[in-house]
Structure 1
């Protein structure tokens, strides 16, 4: 395999004596690449998985302070084996077959490794974000996850959390991971159970464990400014600042108010935050954490102990999760190849949002995050569930089918509350399918933790040069399982593209590819095929 590397470091300007005396320096590098014939590109932000591949139209993305509400990585890959990488955020545009890249503080590395998307990915994974060899906890893969957010929203409380867990079992769903979402705590930054909502959290945890669940708690880096914790951290200078002199804590607006932020560029800030989480583990038996927020835009215009940029703050928040095998992130900068569970950002309860789950999960893998969850079944945007009259049972069923053979699947809205008997049965069967395949899914996770490869792949990754680069409604789980769900209302048939080989289907049929076939997909069916060579 031929590998060609171009390291484009920041040049020193020859008129340096004058510029240095004025305190100036060049801190960006401009690079231009011409698109090759039939070349397509992927990468950058997970949210652009739906817009991938790039190359046929114009594209622009400035990564500085912007992960697009999800995961992002300074990496772009092409189906011709080319790659673009930097250790810092990049600004990239594609227009008139010219790729223009500008860096924000680090060298840009471009090159070619082999001739395919897979060749480029494997080289970059090994070189720039080598896999850790470890995974999140096996239960994250082998069993469904359940999140209390949609059912309880900001009224998380002991009685309803236990009822939710009991209803899971009562309705025949497998136990697994239970996440207690925002507002279980006293205040942001005061990571103790609210005693008015949770009268005996230790007993609650013991009961949930006894029912067969492992329990995660929602946390974030925000600090409520009207709390003793804020005053203590202010005295210790452990929050990010609004001024260059680093005297006054910054107060930032976010989706649930205005708060200060713990400074994780400061080792003492890291130690403080980990101490809060470890206390929950030791005191109550908490198994892990859903680490929310941390988006780089919250840090834009702030100052910190370590003089971090916005993206570095996001990365430092992600590093907290490495201490806990039960973890989940919705926003993350870099950290590919690490044992972190990455969830797609909240989706609305709409068919259009359902249709981006597969391409965005493919995009997640392409930037190096193997261990992903496609948001919450039926959607995670809580405002979508305020009006029960617009709930679409068919959408929830099809969503559960898309999740069933993903690396992870996560419920939140209770299927037994919103679905009729027949549709509830289908959702339950999807949860049981995931559990029945759980050991195989986890074996794949362990393999990908060593190789660095995505668990969810597009057909172009495994079958290059066959014209599959624009297929976004089916996916591969590893090399040998192909899944072709339905994501359109009322649709009861679909075309499936079968690559070369023999594929045995969920319906017992065997198809020899390459071929395209229209199949029947009644509401109760999730079409999937195993390659039998």
Structure 2
């Protein structure tokens, strides 16, 4: 099914303090960056290009002055001795600053002791510069304990590693920064907020909201990364496999902080560049760029039609065929009819229930209409499934961490289940064999993989770690056509797999549409370029979208890398309500899909560019126009590639303000040239119009003008 129930129960990996980036290098997953400077492995000690560093010490501070190079701006790290604080300066101006080390506050080096109390480093009692590393000894509020803190600078970043020494045994470690010191903040990916994120809210920039994710980790259900970057050209990367507690304006207003909830040491890197985009490129240098795109060209050119929001689990053979036939007869383009949750006899049994009396005939009829046929699958086998006993008896399920002689049982939205252990070669072969049997018997062309590949309550297979299950899941998915549904795999290094990334479920209203747009920007700018919103119109188990929401969502999605569809523009009827649409809805939805199809050659070129460099396909305006301060808070416009700017209407209105960045832009709706930077207030666009602008004078201008010609 779509992920409507899953995010409410997040899946965690409790790891150690070792940096995940070092493991990525060892496995060959991290590659040299392809950005304008030579990157490196911040979490493993090999950093960017070396530059001259000058060490200075006075009575109240310690200073590292890193000189500029031909490709880096240079910077200064100023360490206040009392109260302990780290300030990063570029050209003499503050671009990032920690909080102060004060008793009872959220300090720059805070830790929880084995007694359950929090302490913090307060002052510098010793400083030594040797062999390119500044070693600090810090006094703390924990009696008899100090912090050993090391800063290792390079031309475009500095690495910070620290741990607690003495009587107190640290069980958690944390660092905190002043939000305003760096301007606006971005990164992290899908956020969690009290305002409804990640389902109906996504702060963009992050500091515009109150963010709190207490379970951010490699196996978390959300697409997240331990990486943040800022308007002032700084960034943070935490090298960890641990579960993190991340807060922006939540624990303390105006403070950003992150806690490693199962570690006794911290390993983090601060990037210092000229622009936010440069920082992103540094992080991609650590993660590696996509090795390929898992989706072929047709899946970028036409929508995937998935049954989830149209029917939810009430889907049947008759309803699926009627839905597919109505789309086909209305000539709404699409490459695949994909049946979501609702077909299995039991969860984990690869047999159809009684709602599907003739699955092969159903598949044949879908193929006869010119579509591929796909189905939803999961590695989670419910205890009432026929396959559960077989898999348990053969040792195919992940074992319980508490009792390794029994399968680990996990609770999800559909009951209690065991999870197929992909690290067990026999279990993996058995599971793959079941999928191949579905393909051969019923003509299934591909799959939508749902749920996670691991749960933290389980024990990994001997010789494996919890983090290995991300790679194992990727290897499994790579054997099959994902049909444009992609898979939700994330964390530093997962960018190399090149999967399409689908969002978590969204609501069916205007605020959810706006959240979907902002969330695509958030996911794109942590290294996942092949993004799509949740199903057009939303799929969170709510009343079907209104006509205007459905049309405006389709128009917005037409200017993104992929379109992911479910709610039919002819009408929707499911357990949450019914909505019939008129012919104009069909016409406008189809027009949006056809616009996307005409943009396919341009989008495919951006896909190839993303594979070469990690460049986001859908990106914020400030990536290309860093000197235009007005671009940094914009959450409802984006660049598709470099030459197309989308500014769709995302509210129940026919007017909006459009910010046009520097350059000469052709306004497709009003057929005029606009000279930026300028704000177009009261810009009109009725339901049949989608505000879109083409940058004049580029090699893509002609292609785009032809594709968008009205």
Q: Cα 1:87–1:129, aligned 2, differ >3 Å: closer, same or farther?
A: farther
| Greater relative contact order (CA < 8 Å, ≥ 6 in sequence) | 1
| From 453, 457, 461, the counterpart of 1:301 | 457
> Is 2:372 the counterpart of 1:214?
yes
Offset at 1:458?
A: 1.0
Whole-angstrom distance in 1 between the partners of 2:366 and 2:221: 31
Q: Cα 1:86–1:272, aligned 2, differ >3 Å: closer, same or farther?
A: farther
Q: Deviations over 1:231-269 (max 9, x none)?
A: 111112222334423122233222222222222344443
Q: Deviations over 1:467-524 (max 9, x none)?
A: 21110011111111111111111x1111100111111122222211111113111111
Offset at 1:289?
A: 1.4
Greater helix proportion: 1
| From 559, 578, 582, the counterpart of 1:420 | 582
Offset at 1:69?
A: 4.7
Which residues in structure 2 correspond to 1:90-169 (within 5 Å)? 90-94=244-248, 95=252, 98-103=255-260, 104=262, 108-169=267-328
Offset at 1:11?
A: 4.7
Whole-angstrom distance in 2 between the partners of 1:530 and 1:64: 38
Offset at 1:433?
A: 1.2
Which has the higher mean CA deviation after the structures are superposed, 492-501 or 174-183? 174-183
Which residues in structure 2 correspond to 1:185-334 (within 5 Å)? 185-194=344-353, 196-294=354-452, 299-306=455-462, 313=469, 316-327=472-483, 328-329=485-486, 331-334=488-491
> Is 2:635 the counterpart of 1:472?
yes
Greater strand proportion: 2
Whole-angstrom distance in 2 between the partners of 1:270 and 1:131: 25
| From 236, 240, 251, the counterpart of 1:83 | 236
Whole-angstrom distance in 2 between the partners of 1:270 and 1:29: 37
User: What's 2:127 paired with?
Assistant: none
Which residues in structure 2 correspond to 1:67-82 (within 5 Å)? 69-79=221-231, 80-82=233-235
> Is 2:608 the counterpart of 1:451?
no
Offset at 1:199?
A: 3.7
User: What's 1:358 paired with?
Assistant: 517
Does the Cα contact within 8 Å between 2:156 and 2:273 map onto a contact in 1? Answer: no
User: What's 1:400 paired with?
Assistant: 554
User: What's 2:158 paired with?
Assistant: 6
Does the Cα contact within 8 Å between 1:144 and 1:411 map onto a contact in 2? Answer: yes
Q: Deviations over 1:295-353 (max 9, x none)?
A: 87xx2433332597877656643543222342534643322242212111111222221
Which has the higher mean CA deviation after the structures are superposed, 249-258 or 351-360? 249-258
TM-score, normalization: structure 2? 0.67
Whole-angstrom distance in 2 between the partners of 1:381 and 1:164: 20
Aligned length: 516
Does the Cα contact within 8 Å between 1:315 and 1:333 map onto a contact in 2? Answer: no
Whole-angstrom distance in 1 between the partners of 2:654 and 2:225: 37
User: What's 1:411 paired with?
Assistant: 565
TM-score, normalization: structure 1? 0.88
Offset at 1:365?
A: 0.2
Q: Greater CA radius of gyration, 1 or 2?
A: 2
SS in 2 for 1:76: strand
Whole-angstrom distance in 1 between the partners of 2:343 and 2:207: 46
Whole-angstrom distance in 2 between the partners of 1:177 and 1:42: 35
Q: Cα 1:349–1:124, aligned 2, differ >3 Å: closer, same or farther?
A: same
Whole-angstrom distance in 1 between the partners of 2:316 and 2:517: 34
Q: Cα 1:141–1:512, aligned 2, differ >3 Å: closer, same or farther?
A: same
> Is 2:649 the counterpart of 1:486?
yes
Q: Cα 1:243–1:69, aligned 2, differ >3 Å: closer, same or farther?
A: closer
Q: Cα 1:97–1:324, aligned 2, differ >3 Å: closer, same or farther?
A: same
Which has the higher mean CA deviation after the structures are superposed, 104-113 or 154-163? 104-113
Offset at 1:375?
A: 0.8
Which residues in structure 2 correspond to 1:46-57 (within 5 Å)? 46-47=190-191, 50-55=202-207
Offset at 1:52?
A: 3.1
Q: Cα 1:462–1:531, aligned 2, differ >3 Å: closer, same or farther?
A: same
Whole-angstrom distance in 2 between the partners of 1:41 and 1:406: 23
Whole-angstrom distance in 1 between the partners of 2:623 and 2:446: 33
Q: CA RMSD in A?
A: 2.9
Whole-angstrom distance in 2 between the partners of 1:309 and 1:101: 23
SS in 2 for 1:320: helix
Q: Cα 1:82–1:152, aligned 2, differ >3 Å: closer, same or farther?
A: closer
Does the Cα contact within 8 Å between 2:176 and 2:256 map onto a contact in 1? Answer: yes
> Is 2:632 the counterpart of 1:499?
no
> Is 2:706 the counterpart of 1:527?
no
Q: Cα 1:70–1:99, aligned 2, differ >3 Å: closer, same or farther?
A: closer
Q: Cα 1:188–1:393, aligned 2, differ >3 Å: closer, same or farther?
A: same
Whole-angstrom distance in 1 between the partners of 2:270 and 2:206: 18
Q: Cα 1:395–1:463, aligned 2, differ >3 Å: closer, same or farther?
A: same
Stretches of structure 2 lacking an aligned partner (at least 5 in a row) = 1-70, 73-154, 193-200, 572-579, 698-710
Which has the higher mean CA deviation after the structures are superposed, 351-360 or 265-274? 265-274
Q: Cα 1:494–1:36, aligned 2, differ >3 Å: closer, same or farther?
A: closer
Whole-angstrom distance in 2 between the partners of 1:216 and 1:486: 33
Q: Deviations over 1:174-208 (max 9, x none)?
A: 131221111222322222333x3334433433332
SS in 2 for 1:323: coil
Q: Cα 1:63–1:315, aligned 2, differ >3 Å: closer, same or farther?
A: farther
Whole-angstrom distance in 1 between the partners of 2:623 and 2:677: 16
Whole-angstrom distance in 1 between the partners of 2:370 and 2:272: 47
Which has the higher mean CA deviation after the structures are superposed, 521-530 or 209-218? 209-218
Does the Cα contact within 8 Å between 1:64 and 1:311 map onto a contact in 2? Answer: no
Q: Cα 1:38–1:71, aligned 2, differ >3 Å: closer, same or farther?
A: closer
Does the Cα contact within 8 Å between 2:217 and 2:241 map onto a contact in 1? Answer: no
